[in-house]
Structure 1
Amino acid sequence: MCDAAPQPADPNGGKKQRWRRDQKPAAPRQPPAKGYADVGARSKLPSPSVPVPLSDEQVQQFIVEGFLELPPEDDGELHDSIFKQAVAFGRRAEELGNNVLPAIPDLVHVYESPRVRGAIESLLGPCYLLHPHRYCHTSERPAPQTWHRDSFWGHWHPRNACMYWIMALYFPQDTPLELGPTEIMPRSQWYNKDEKSDRGPYYGCARFNDREAESGVPAVNWHVHARPLCCSAGTVVLMHYDLWHRGGANISDGIRYMFKFQFSRMLSPALAPRLRSAPGEAIVWEKFFQEDVDAPARMQPVWQGVWDWLHGASEVPSQEDAEDAKVLLSDLLEGHGQDAFDPVRVAAAWKLARLCRARPPMLSKVLAALDQLLHLRGRNVMHVLDMLGPVAVPLLLEKPAVRQSADAVHGLGRCLDLADLDGGEAGAKALQALEEVLKGAKDPLVRICAAEALGCLRLQDTAWPLQQAVAEDTVGAVRATALHALIRLLTSGSLVEDSCLQALRATAQAVKPKDPDRYVRAYAAELCHRIDIVQQLAWDAPGANAAAMVESNRNAHIPPLVRWCTCGDGWHP
């Protein structure tokens, strides 16, 4: 059931969130009218257009390479206008933080164009979310950045191998090599740097300097190399969220501008599978093999696994048999804690998951082994759990680790995302377990994963513990994730009753004006925005049954929400 959530006494436990490693003292807060034009006077939201989906080959390229470049369309006037607006802000463009979109609302036309919207929809499914974190990166640096992967807008939690989050980089000006374009390491999205990391053992967020990248683990063991994104004005580059990248060296006299936006998946591929552009055509992964790489076919099960997931495949064949399980488990433990062995471990994890999907009797044995050897902890264990699907839910719920390990909770959520439990016994048990974790776990990371997992459990009763977390949890990241989960439930059609919508709106409005976490405020506004759309759809279709409304929700065009971040200047508190 959905109920109005109680009011929070102290939403953030009296502590300020730390949003960036090099945070500067907050600038005096200025109202939007000073220095920024009114959004309504600058640009109107574009009318919905028919998205142009990616081809099968383009999707395969994104899966393998971790990025896809969308060349500019014939709209040089728009890109020139955005570039001039960025130049007018100059070095202050970075200070806009999340407010870069309302400050330069013409950016909406870029991301709502048919080719960009269609490309994002091909990877994230319909009704995806334009994330409230965005940034204008300017560069005058004569030296490049170190190689890194982004945090989750200041927070740290388990990453996703499949497309739940992506980045979109937009270059409004011609960006040759001397201007310092973003540089990427294609095919690096699967691999992590845990050695010398100050962020704990599971995030893979330590950094590489030039020497390490050129002659160390990335080049020697991962077989990945730098590629500068030199491009023409108007180019948009879609990136897997975990792709290694950096800002290049700017040796010119100009300033390089790049707008980074983020998007997240709202609908499970089980609800909205991608439709192939060439049904029945054979998939030839061999065209992506590299001659200079040992075991070139090693990553093929990973690529195929992501492809199957994206298309909602229920039957997953495997080339391995039961006798291979011990070898794969051994490979999963290979070089534990050493970054150089990541390719072996990642490939083993995906092969193991495919083996369990193809031969269900192996599932309980593999889970027991992972529990005994690794206590269901670690990123490579999470790779296995993420791909097991609905059949693993009852077995995972029996494991004590599901109440203790963030990785196990995250994996349970991904299994639930592929399930359709319809309120049966398994759904009730999953709801009870995750509610207990969300309320009782001491580790905020475990609570974050529990909130995320509840957003994958498409039941109306799931809303209540999430509403409570929004109102009562003392950690901003938990409250924000709970709201994100509620948005997913709403978008999936799980929350369509009018009384439920009213309760959700009350929950969002209760926190929006005063929560100290900017992303809690942003998600609350997004939740209200989407409730408005759902109610409008119901108004336009009087008498429609619940099934019709659910289908209408999942196919609706969700216009992006353009709003000013009211926390400081859009970046600092």
Structure 2
Amino acid sequence: MNALSDKQMVDFITNGYLVLQNELPDALHQSVMRQIDFAVQEEGNPGNNILPRVPDIAKFFETPVVKGALTSVLGPDYYMHPHRHMHYNQPGNQAPGGGQWHKDGYWSSMRSHRPWWVMMFYYTQDITEEMGPTAIMPGSQYSEKLPGGKTVLPTGKAGTIALVHFDLWHKASLNTSNVDRYMLKFQFVRLREPVSPSWNHVDPAVEFPADRPDARLNLWQDTWQWLLGNAGKPAAAGAQRKTADAHRHPAGVQRQADVAELEARLSDGDAVVRSRAADALGLLGEAAAGSAGRLRGLVQEASAEDAGLNAAYALGRMGAPGQQVLLELLSSGSKTASQRAAYGLQAAGAAAVPGLVEALRQSGENGRGLAAFVLGMNGAGASSAVPALIAAFEDESEWVRRNAVEALGMIGEPAALAVPALVRALREAVEGEARDGAVSGSSDAYAANQTYIANKIGYSAALSLLRIGRSGDPALVVSGLQAGLESRDRYARAYAFEALTALRTEEAVSLLIRHYRTARWCPDTHKASMF
């Protein structure tokens, strides 16, 4: 298995993508291309069924390069998501400039800065810029709004792969060649929070590119520490000092700049200067806690997204004063400010859990939902919040309930409380489909457009059981997953299948066999075949 290096992991955290190369026989790629071409031309795009329609595609994702990269970013027990798509870019089939910049529809209730999800763009043929590869915008994965900046068009021979952070802005570029361009988009999800590095980690004091206009040193360090299994903890002193010094120097601040100088820069007319000043204050940690009030104003700025997000992460590093500001914004700030505050509280780690539990009980709908989201992102460090999250299953807001259900799967323990609650949630969600005659919808401001998830509570409960079901009573879990197999939500059914496969008890296997008999796919059956 070809594990990623420290440098590649830093590149992925900061840029949001890596270009890799699968070394496979040309004959395999050509065979897959012929099968895809036949399916697309004769039957239409198979969508989610591209893998069973062309089973040889699975060989692309079993190589040391692919398994090493996915394990490095997602841990050893990642899951290939059932949503897959074959992108077909014909010559000249777009307006000048190509498609529209976008982020893919996401699968959680909110987008996560930490890499719980990734995508792979796989090219089955030699790909050139003229053929219209998917354009990506480096570093844009943390931006809610399209930030602007340089564009990268990954190219290379057949087997070229772009491993991308799930939330990276991307688009189809214009195909100016005379060749049909195919690209396989597959998605993968992490099942457990990191407890140790899963890549080839050798450097205890890596450095991040502090001289970039979009530098986010506190955010990047938070992601790095989380991937190391040190969620909520500051970087090693040596590494933090290096990045702090480097961050101040490009902005023209003296190497020994004090808090007052940095705080003054929070009012600079240049948003980049404000952003860097907020980041540098965060790297000083509690020593800069007196700046919490000034940073609060920056978090509330609607237009300067980089500065606002950096301010939120900085507050998350300033101990109790910073956490208090973030909790207030979480509960009573605008949607933009409260969402940024949630990400900042994620960086605060376990110390923020008591305040988040209080927000889960006392805030308005937006604050309650965000509190549940952050508790889940804090993983095992939020285990004391499990009873409060279970109580939130009765919340009047579907969005709050869904966040609480997903959070239990990320926290994991105590499984004796979490697993029965999730089984109950899955059963009740599926029963609601039959009782109400329709699957549930959602009007919340974050996920109202997730029409591809038909039963959001059932979907999230099945995903959480996929994550932690093995820690519960097998018979109880199987009974819940059996209900999940009956859901109208295709992704809830897929998660239930996978969770039963992970259990591998006699009862689970028997249930799987019964359902697989009607789910089997014949890849050779198509409209031109007779038998």
TM range (shorter): 0.7 to 0.9
Conserved 8 A contact 1:403-1:409 = no
What SS does structure 2 have at the residue aligned with 1:228? coil
Paired with 1:326 and 1:393, the residues of 2 have a C-alpha distance of 21
Q: 1:303 to 1:530 in 2, by over 3 A?
A: same
Q: Matched residues in 1 for 2:33 and 2:308: separation?
A: 44
Partner residue in 2 for 1:472: 428
What is the CA–CA distance in structure 1 between the aligned matches of 2:56 and 2:133, rounded to whole Å?
Answer: 22
Q: Identify the match of residue 119 of structure 2 among 167, 183, 195.
A: 167
The equivalent of 1:456 in structure 2 is 410
**Could you tell me which of 103, 111, 117 is aligned with 1:149?**
103
Letter of the structure 1 residue corresponding to residue 370 of structure 2: D
Q: What code does the residue aligned with 1:517 have?
A: D
SS at match of 2:147: helix
Query: Would the aligned equivalents of 2:8 and 2:18 in 1 still touch at CA under 8 Å?
Result: yes
Matched, 1:409 2:372: yes
SS across alignment from 1:285: coil
Does the 8 Å contact 1:94/1:136 carry over to 2? no
Q: 2:488 aligns with which of 493, 513, 516?
A: 516
Gaps of at least 5 residues in structure 2 are 236-282, 433-439, 441-454, 509-518, 526-531
Structure 1 CA distance, aligned partners of 2:337 and 2:418?
25
1:65·1:187 contact (CA, 8 Å) conserved in 2? yes
CA 1:351 to 1:377, structure 2 compared with 1: closer, same or farther past 3 Å? closer
Deviation at 1:101, TM superposition (A): 1.0
* CA deviation vs aligned residue, 1:245-286 (integer Å, no higher than 9, x gap): 0111122333211111111111111x3443553233x31223
Within the alignment, does 1:484 sit opposite 2:449 as a pair?
Answer: no
Contact map agreement 1:511 1:524 (CA 8 A) in 2: yes
Comparing 404-413 with 168-177, greater Cα deviation is found at 404-413
How many angstroms does 1:227 deviate by?
1.7
**What amino acid is aligned across from residue 285 of structure 1 in structure 2?**
F
Q: Is the 8 A contact 1:412 1:453 kept in 2?
A: yes
Give the CA deviation at 1:386: 2.1
- 1:187 and 2:139 matched: yes
Q: Is the Cα–Cα contact under 8 Å of residues 414 and 456 in structure 1 kept in the other structure? A: yes
* Structure 1 gaps, min length 5: 1-50, 194-216, 537-562
The CA deviation at 1:182 is: 0.5
What are the residue-to-residue correspondences of 1:207-218 with 2, within 5 Å? 218=147
- Counterpart position of 2:40: 90
| 1:545-564 equivalence runs, <5 A | none
Match of 2:206 among 250, 275, 283: 283
Query: Quick check: 2:4–2:69 contact (8 Å CA) kept in 1?
Result: yes
State whether residues 474 and 505 of structure 2, in contact with CA within 8 Å, keep that contact through their aligned partners in structure 1: no
Letter in 2 for 1:322: A
Specify which structure has the bigger relative contact order, considering alpha-carbon pairs within 8 angstroms and separated by 6 or more residues. Answer: 1
Match of residue 529 from structure 1: 501
SS of equivalent to 2:82: strand
Q: Does 1:64 align with 2:14?
A: yes
Does residue 129 (structure 1) correspond to residue 79 (structure 2)? The answer is: yes
TM-score, structure 2 as length reference: 0.75
* Counterparts of 1:407 and 1:258, CA distance in 2: 36
- 1:236 to partner: Cα distance: 1.4
Structure-1 separation of matches of 2:506 and 2:7: 35
Is residue 507 of structure 1 aligned with residue 480 of structure 2? yes
Partner of 2:381: 419
Picking from 46, 49, 54, the partner of 2:4 is: 54
Q: Which has the higher helix share?
A: 2
Matched to 1:179, the amino acid is M
Distance 1:385 1:402, change over 3 A: farther
Query: Is the contact between residue 53 and residue 118 of structure 1 (CA under 8 Å) also seen in structure 2?
Result: yes
Native 8 Å contact 1:125 1:272 kept in 2 = no
| Pairing 1:316-331 to 2, within 5 Å after superposition | 316=234, 318-320=283-285, 321-331=288-298
How far is 1:391 from its partner?
A: 2.0
Q: Which amino acid aligns with 2:350?
A: P
Tell me, in whole angstroms, the C-alpha distance in 1 between the residues paired with 2:404 and 2:68: 31
Residue pair 2:316, 2:326 contacting (<8 A) in 1 also: no
Q: Is 1:115 equivalent to 2:65 in the alignment?
A: yes
2:238 corresponds to? none
Is contact 1:133–1:262 with CA below 8 Å preserved after alignment?
A: yes
Cα deviation for residue 564 of structure 1 reads 5.8
Aligned residues: 431
8 A contact 1:185–1:245 mirrored in 2: yes
Name the SS for the 1:268 alignment partner: coil
Which residue of the partner structure matches residue 245 of structure 1? 170
Partners of 2:106 and 2:42 lie apart in 1 by 23
Per-residue CA distance 1:60-108 (angstroms, 9 max, x = gap): 0001110001123143232222222112213467631111111111122
Distance in 2 (CA, whole Å) between partners of 1:565 and 1:521 is 16
Do the aligned residues in 2 keep the contact of 1:58 with 1:68 (CA within 8 Å)? yes
Identity within the alignment, %: 31
Counterpart residue identity of residue 426, structure 2:
V
